[in-house]
Chain A
């Protein structure tokens, strides 16, 4: 099995965020950059599949220099090699359409790909679309939100899995090659240990410059990469402080309600919901 994982390096959204001086992006000064958390599930699933059926795992990312760190983490988890489409313009918001074309063009050069995994969402942009658009560019089927791979049939080039849909789930069969987007319920990603990160530095990483990309054949201009050429532009970004009423009923000792306070707190809460919030 030849397995590819498309990964992204994202801002650590658990970190404190504030709007940058331009007013249309997050201030990245001192920002911690991490492998997109959902991509960890994708890498794990790829390695598990390789362990079960043999083959190799190739990672691919498109981002500025720093994105190599995310690739290194994936290599340390157990991937065999990586492709890094590298340009500083890829550190800006890039149209999902442009990004998917770029990645698909490099991915298309890898021969004999059976399966492509990627995370279900890129957390900083909250984007669920890039992976699926890569599948469209490659002209292959995709399965979004696969909660469980049920059966891989390498000889028949088929895959059976369970995916989540609105109001339930569905089991489906698809011919390979196919692209799968991974939610977190799928597996438990392994840890990239320090010795493995050291070893990962010796694994092959192919660097691709935008100068090497044949934009003509992709039907886009090179200046479509980056903010200025985007089909959708962020004109304002805010980190709103939602004002909540903070009417929290506590016990007389400022901790939990106890004894008679319990029934009293229930009465008071219902009164608040009815008269103050007017939601019941």
Chain B
């Protein structure tokens, strides 16, 4: 086993490196010791190596292969298992994106490793075993877990927005690898990719989120949520009840079933605050709620709030926010 700490870069559909990759690189450097290296997998991604070096990567293992386009797990599993088998890193990390949740479990099986997902803290024990914290029980409990140090790579994924990204020049030595991925390795045929055309940040990595509940009462009224989100430069989210009612698409769902978010500011509009919803946003730094029911459970879990009708409160609130933001 080498002492290398690997961070697998997560590349977005537009070819850019996802912010969580820089967050994980920075925290690995601050907390884990050992040379921090990056792994860059994809099609036509080689030019991103220098960006990873800018956040402290000493080495960047690159597999640039046309079969790694389209976020298809099979190719990534083969590439990463091959690299881990060849170089035996001590630790393998990545952001906890939907794609990591898709392919990383197979990698752990492939190399016989333990896998801790969606971690909110990472560190090392004195004898060099990875120690992490993660949520459990609908995010109402936090467990501290340690790897047993059996010599297999210790694999973990990290929740976006858990750590601060911090630039720091690493040596950035590029190691090009041929993972030998062929068409035959790819079992899933991609027919069509529908990415959302939106100027708003993605929910899971946004620093601010504005979400609406069933109280919005219609798809049209969700424009209030979008307008407030755009004003704050925030992502737009929703409760399961609002999604089930057809007011907005499933990919906006925040909660146990939907996405877990950890923004600096979470604005909950007409959301009562179920356990399930909390399990997806309870770790937000500041929670603001607007609800006309003075008994709504969300108020007991909010930092700030207005007990009022959203249709009456949002117009003056928007005006006040505009004023404050322009100052």
Residues of A in contact with B (beta carbons under 8 Å apart): 11, 13-14, 17, 19, 24, 26, 38, 95-97, 100, 121, 123-130, 132-133, 135-137, 141-145, 147, 160, 164-175, 183-185, 219, 230-240, 242, 244-251, 254-257, 261-263, 265-267, 269-270, 272-274, 276-277, 279-280
Report the minimum CB–CB distance from A122 to chain B (whole Å).
Answer: 10
Q: Is the pair B324, A274 in contact by a Cβ cutoff of 8 Å? A: yes
In the complex the two chains form, what is the Cα distance from A170 to B192 in whole Å?
6
In the complex the two chains form, what is the Cα distance from A173 to B275 in whole Å?
36
Q: Which residues 266-282 of B sit at the A interface, judged by CB distance below 8 A?
A: 275-276, 279, 282
In the complex the two chains form, what is the Cα distance from A257 to B293 in whole Å?
11
Given A168-B251, A273-B304, are A95 and B136 also a contact pair (CB < 8 Å)?
no
CB contact between B313 and one of A237, A246, A257 (< 8 Å): that residue = A257
Residue of A nearest to B266 (CB): A279
A-B contact list, 7 entries, CB within 8 Å? A133-B109, A136-B77, A141-B188, A185-B243, A232-B114, A239-B142, A244-B302
In the complex the two chains form, what is the Cα distance from A277 to B264 in whole Å?
10
Residue of A nearest to B189 (CB): A173
Residue of B nearest to A132 (CB): B105
Report the minimum CB–CB distance from B232 to chain A (whole Å).
Answer: 7
CB contact between B144 and one of A170, A230, A235 (< 8 Å): that residue = A235
The reply on B51 being an interface residue by CB < 8 A is no
Report the minimum CB–CB distance from B206 to chain A (whole Å).
Answer: 12
The reply on B250 being an interface residue by CB < 8 A is yes
In the complex the two chains form, what is the Cα distance from A237 to B137 in whole Å?
11
Range, interface on chain B: 35 or more
Report the minimum CB–CB distance from B302 to chain A (whole Å).
Answer: 6
The reply on B294 being an interface residue by CB < 8 A is yes
Report the minimum CB–CB distance from B12 to chain A (whole Å).
Answer: 7
Residues of chain B within 8 A (CB-CB) of A265 are: 306, 308, 313
The reply on B320 being an interface residue by CB < 8 A is yes
CB contact between A171 and one of B191, B292, B302 (< 8 Å): that residue = B191
Q: Which residues 74-116 of B sit at the A interface, judged by CB distance below 8 A?
A: 74, 77, 97-99, 101-102, 104-106, 108-110, 112-116
Q: Is the pair B188, A172 in contact by a Cβ cutoff of 8 Å? A: yes
Residue of A nearest to B274 (CB): A14
Residue of B nearest to A264 (CB): B316
Contact string, B314-326, partner A, CB cutoff 8 A, digits 1/0? Answer: 0011011101110
In the complex the two chains form, what is the Cα distance from A216 to B110 in whole Å?
18
In the complex the two chains form, what is the Cα distance from A13 to B135 in whole Å?
12
In the complex the two chains form, what is the Cα distance from A9 to B304 in whole Å?
38
Residue of A nearest to B300 (CB): A246
Q: Is the pair A245, B303 in contact by a Cβ cutoff of 8 Å? A: yes
The reply on B288 being an interface residue by CB < 8 A is yes
Query: Contacting chain A: which of B37-45, B52-60, B145-153, B162-170?
Result: B145-153
Q: Is the pair B105, A13 in contact by a Cβ cutoff of 8 Å? A: no
In the complex the two chains form, what is the Cα distance from A175 to B325 in whole Å?
53
Residues of chain A within 8 A (CB-CB) of B204 are: 166
The reply on B118 being an interface residue by CB < 8 A is yes
Name the residue among A24, A124, A170, A230 with the largest chain B CB count within 10 angstroms: A170
CB contact between B191 and one of A97, A121, A160, A244 (< 8 Å): that residue = A160
In the complex the two chains form, what is the Cα distance from A114 to B204 in whole Å?
34
In the complex the two chains form, what is the Cα distance from A125 to B253 in whole Å?
21
Residues of chain B within 8 A (CB-CB) of A261 are: 308
The reply on B226 being an interface residue by CB < 8 A is no
Given A167-B13, A172-B191, A270-B320, are A248 and B275 also a contact pair (CB < 8 Å)?
no
Residue of B nearest to A174 (CB): B188
The reply on B2 being an interface residue by CB < 8 A is no
Q: Is the pair B192, A231 in contact by a Cβ cutoff of 8 Å? A: no
Given A124-B136, A239-B141, are A96 and B202 also a contact pair (CB < 8 Å)?
no
In the complex the two chains form, what is the Cα distance from A141 to B112 in whole Å?
18
Query: Contacting chain A: which of B27-35, B174-182, B193-201?
Result: B193-201
Residues of chain B within 8 A (CB-CB) of A125 are: 136
Known contacts A11-B137, A143-B188, A238-B143; 11 further A-B pairs (Cβ under 8 A)? A96-B115, A165-B98, A170-B70, A172-B189, A238-B141, A246-B302, A248-B289, A270-B320, A270-B323, A280-B265, A280-B321
Name the residue among A128, A147, A235, A238 with the largest chain B CB count within 10 angstroms: A128
The reply on B134 being an interface residue by CB < 8 A is yes
Contact string, B114-141, partner A, CB cutoff 8 A, digits 1/0? Answer: 1111100000000000010011111111
Residue of B nearest to A100 (CB): B109
Q: Is the pair B196, A167 in contact by a Cβ cutoff of 8 Å? A: yes
